[in-house]
Chains A and B, each alone.
Chain A
Amino acid sequence: MGEFEVHRVRFFGLVPAGVRCLACEPRGGRLALARTDGAVEVYNFAANYFQERVIPGNEARSVEALCWAAGDRLFGAGLGGDITEYDLARLCAARSVDGCGGPIWSMAANSTGTQLAIGCEDGSVKLFQVVPGGIQFERNLDRRKGRILCLSWHPSDTHIAAGSIDILRVFDVCSGQTVQRIMVNYHVQKVKRECIVWSIAFLSSGTVVTSDSFGRVQFWDWERGTLLESHTVSTSAVLSLAVSEKEDSIIVGTSTGATYQFQLLPVKMGSLEKRWVRTKPFQHHTHDVRAVAHSSTALISGGLDAQLVIRPLMEKMQKKGYDAALRKFTFPHRRLVSCARKARLLLFQFSQHLELWRLGSTNKTGKDGEVLPLCRMPEHLVQLKSKGPEHIYCSCVSPCGSWVAYSTASRFHLYRVQYEGDSISVKKVPKVPKLLPPAYQLQFSADSGSLFVASARGSVHVLQLLELGGCKLLHTFRPPSGSPEAVYLLAASADGHWVAAVSGDWAIHIYNLKCFKHHCAVPAYSCAVTALAIHPVTNNLVIAYSDQQLFEFSIPEKQYTAWSRMVQNCGLHRVWLERDSPITHITFNPKNPSHILLHDIYMFCVLDKSLPLPDNSALLMNQSTLKQLPENARQRQLHAFKICKKFQPLLFADLLDENCLVMVERPIMDIKTQLPLPIQQKKFGT
């Protein structure tokens, strides 16, 4: 099939931020996640846990609490003292209201989603009303000394339980008075530490569940002010707690990275008396678990090691299949690396800066699996720092390597990079057309003559790049029926004739660049698009969906190709459909028109359309067995999917020229050594 020289790149120093808050949407299957750098992400459970929306963070914004209210409105509050509403269609922080209580430590919505309660630094609990335009301050509840670190509404919305330092308080919502005050410190003489109540939950039976910094999960009767049960789960703090909707299962997360499930079980078989029992321990994280959530079928935890772990509960699953598998997400489901093929440059996108590297080269050849010595080392050419606290939304480098563009929430930047022998000069392009910021995706055309900018409301701007270093707006494409969502993926054809755009409502529109008109829309599919690309020769649009389906749509003919129909008829291999991570990049080999190269985080695949498709009984990853077979036996066993799992975790893979591949990996251990400190584990014999 082919021998490639692989540039194995491990100098992309990406360190994802830790997970700080999780919030399950009450009705639908969506999960909102906030990270320590202020970024907010939304995962869609139905679309195979795809990360469908990302709002990049901000240095000035810290998110300590996240909640859904009034249906599908997302609110966040943090140590900056503001309550922010996030606009998920336009992927930005829409409105923010000052809480007037200092830093906000916690926020909770009532069961109907009409009121928000926030717990502030000054010890007050404030109530806000959720109104169509935003939120409105309603009133303050009784204020006492001590910062309110966690809050929970009673399911009937009559009382609020709040945890503070050494104390747990219950408020009556109507009168605003404190009706109960319980001391939760550790009654041992020698211990002088204060007991921090990190999280709290109010059950409908009147039981208040708290987790504190001494590693205890305690159940209180709030009316009598007594302790019902106390479980010590850990020697370090228990940082987070979440209760299921049916109130029979609780998940807690500790500082050591362990999570535990508590279940309400009858004391004896058939007895009516029930007790909380610690049932399942899990160790999915290495660092503190600061956020947990309980959906109807799964336990979800997010740790400071930047991992999101979704553990479906077996007793809730109908059958044992891929649905019941553990899902772990560490890396984003988008491309953070762009490649300039001809110039052999890579552009790495960090949260606040970009790095441009030139690949090294070798002049030796070798056999399969050999490591070749470099005659020129990879060079770090340019580092572009973005000014201001906002994080970068997207970035791109042109195929010739002389244009670099990136966008933050409020500004769009375009740079001209010139190479004179050994020296590089970077010049900012002045007078960039005033487009509505931010740009959600950027894509240069194949001849580096135009730049496509993905914008809000489904529109795509075409900017023409001038030789002298300027640019002007040529045209703006809009979908014919309008769209409230922003475009998040773009693909341009090699002949400069077509551009395809995918917006947040999962509709793919194709536009004609020669006559500046809308060409067609791809038939709607029930899942999110994760990658798309246009073939340079046949102008077929190859689409990868988040449920691992692959489609090929012919743009000139405005219909799916015969190969695509065959794939849909036969179905894809079971192992292919049970992959955990989405395909983030599709590319082609100009010398072999029937090849499609794709990759996800754990594999790289060359799809040969001329070969037969494997059925479920055949082995999908058969490269190693094929190598051992003789030539004629090999012909019989060949199938279309040639998968290589040697390079993991893979952030980006591309074909530089006919014999050369570049693979950008990010070993997990390199990330873990740069994270905040984990809790010490004493192991026998070390």
Chain B
Amino acid sequence: MRLAAEGRESFRGGGQAGGVGAMARRQKAAAAGKRGPPAALLSPPSSEDEAPEEVSFGVAKEAAETERKLVGEAARRHRELLKEKRRRRQELFTEQKKRKLLPDAVLKELAAAPPARADGRAAAANRGKHGGDGAAKQRRGQAQRQVKTDKQRKGARSKGNYTAVRLKDQSLTGLHLQLAKDFLNTQLYGPDTNRAQANEFFSLENKKNPVKKAAVQFVDKSWGQEKKQRATRFKKHWLSTQIKNQV
């Protein structure tokens, strides 16, 4: 009997004896089963008949406090562990990214290239005027090629649906002219007018002839226009990544 009671005490009061793990387990069970079955049910069946033990308020309060402290510490340690893991992973990523980019020296050179390019071109032109030796022309050619690729890159980025016009160019006669032209266009080529595509119109003859022929524009160059454009853009991008990787 006594042993059972002790066991019960130790179970209920908890904590001073026993390892962290066991304690944690018991606390977890306690936390999980806050509203769960009372300790009386979990104790061995022989002690069910007895009345619960009386514990003083102060002791219980202390026990609860220590319990809470321990739980808090464990959680904090857990969080710190996770933080540590995250930091390590982030460092790994930054290192990988650094490895992917060109070395600093090359980047600095490229950043400094635009001002140097203009001077380079002017110098090459001057040299070209006087003599015209092959080397100068080659340099000019290279500079021009660089300018071209730069422009292409810039163009690929800023592709908007806008046009810039000067207000000075927009005059009243221009507006009247535009309205008149729009009227003419809607009357002749508007929605009601029953117009046919050139291919359909001119292929009628080919189809009605005794010897049937193919349509006038059998292959239309505008088919799959978007797909072709996407394919060229992808090819450009892929080639540039390949070059970067090799560097």
Q: Which residues of A contact B193 (CB under 8 A)?
A: 236, 255, 679
Bound complex: CA of A685 vs CA of B217, how far in Å? 20
Question: Is A669 engaged at the interface, CB distance under 8 Å to the other chain?
Answer: yes
Q: Is A680 touching B196 in the complex (CB atoms < 8 A)?
A: yes
What distance in Å separates the Cβ of B12 from its nearest Cβ neighbour in chain A?
Answer: 92
Question: Is A196 engaged at the interface, CB distance under 8 Å to the other chain?
Answer: yes
Among B179, B196, B199, point to the contact of A679 (Cβ < 8 A).
B196
Q: Which residues of A contact B207 (CB under 8 A)?
A: 686
Interface residues of B in 133-179 (CB under 8 A from A): 173, 176-177, 179
Bound complex: CA of A79 vs CA of B184, how far in Å? 11
Question: Is A665 engaged at the interface, CB distance under 8 Å to the other chain?
Answer: no
Q: Which residues of A contact B245 (CB under 8 A)?
A: none
Q: Which residues of B contact A673 (CB under 8 A)?
A: 198-199, 202, 216-217
Question: Is B195 engaged at the interface, CB distance under 8 Å to the other chain?
Answer: yes
Bound complex: CA of A62 vs CA of B197, how far in Å? 26
Bound complex: CA of A213 vs CA of B180, how far in Å? 17
Main secondary structure on chain A at its contact with chain B? loop
Question: Is A681 engaged at the interface, CB distance under 8 Å to the other chain?
Answer: yes
Q: Is A675 touching B198 in the complex (CB atoms < 8 A)?
A: yes
Q: How many residues of chain B get a CB closer than 8 Å to chain A's CBs? A: 26
Q: Is B201 touching A103 in the complex (CB atoms < 8 A)?
A: no
Q: Which residues of B contact A237 (CB under 8 A)?
A: 187-188
Known: A236-B194, A672-B198. A677 touches B176 (CB 8 A): no
Question: Is A121 engaged at the interface, CB distance under 8 Å to the other chain?
Answer: yes
Q: Which residues of A contact B177 (CB under 8 A)?
A: 62, 79-81, 103
Q: Is B180 touching A681 in the complex (CB atoms < 8 A)?
A: no
Among B181, B194, B200, B202, point to the contact of A672 (Cβ < 8 A).
B202
Interface residues of A in 648-686 (CB under 8 A from B): 669, 672-681, 683, 685-686
Question: Is A622 engaged at the interface, CB distance under 8 Å to the other chain?
Answer: no
Q: Is A678 touching B198 in the complex (CB atoms < 8 A)?
A: yes
Interface residues of B in 184-230 (CB under 8 A from A): 187-189, 192-202, 204, 207-208, 216-217
What distance in Å separates the Cβ of B111 from its nearest Cβ neighbour in chain A?
Answer: 31
What distance in Å separates the Cβ of B16 from its nearest Cβ neighbour in chain A?
Answer: 93
Bound complex: CA of A672 vs CA of B200, how far in Å? 12
Bound complex: CA of A685 vs CA of B207, how far in Å? 9
Question: Is A145 engaged at the interface, CB distance under 8 Å to the other chain?
Answer: no
Q: Is A81 touching B197 in the complex (CB atoms < 8 A)?
A: no
Of chain A, the residue at the smallest CB distance from B141 is A423
Q: Is A213 touching B187 in the complex (CB atoms < 8 A)?
A: yes
Q: Which residues of B contact A105 (CB under 8 A)?
A: 180
Q: Which residues of A contact B216 (CB under 8 A)?
A: 669, 673
Q: Which residues of B contact A683 (CB under 8 A)?
A: 204, 208
Bound complex: CA of A102 vs CA of B202, how far in Å? 39
Most buried by A among B192, B195, B207: B195
Known: A103-B180, A669-B216. A81 touches B201 (CB 8 A): no
Give residues in A with beta carbon < 8 Å to B.
Answer: 62, 79-81, 102-103, 105, 121, 147, 193, 196, 213, 235-237, 255, 286, 288, 669, 672-681, 683, 685-686
Could you list some 15 contacts between A and B, CB below 8 A? A62-B177, A80-B173, A81-B176, A103-B176, A103-B177, A103-B180, A147-B183, A237-B188, A255-B188, A672-B198, A673-B199, A674-B198, A678-B198, A683-B204, A686-B204
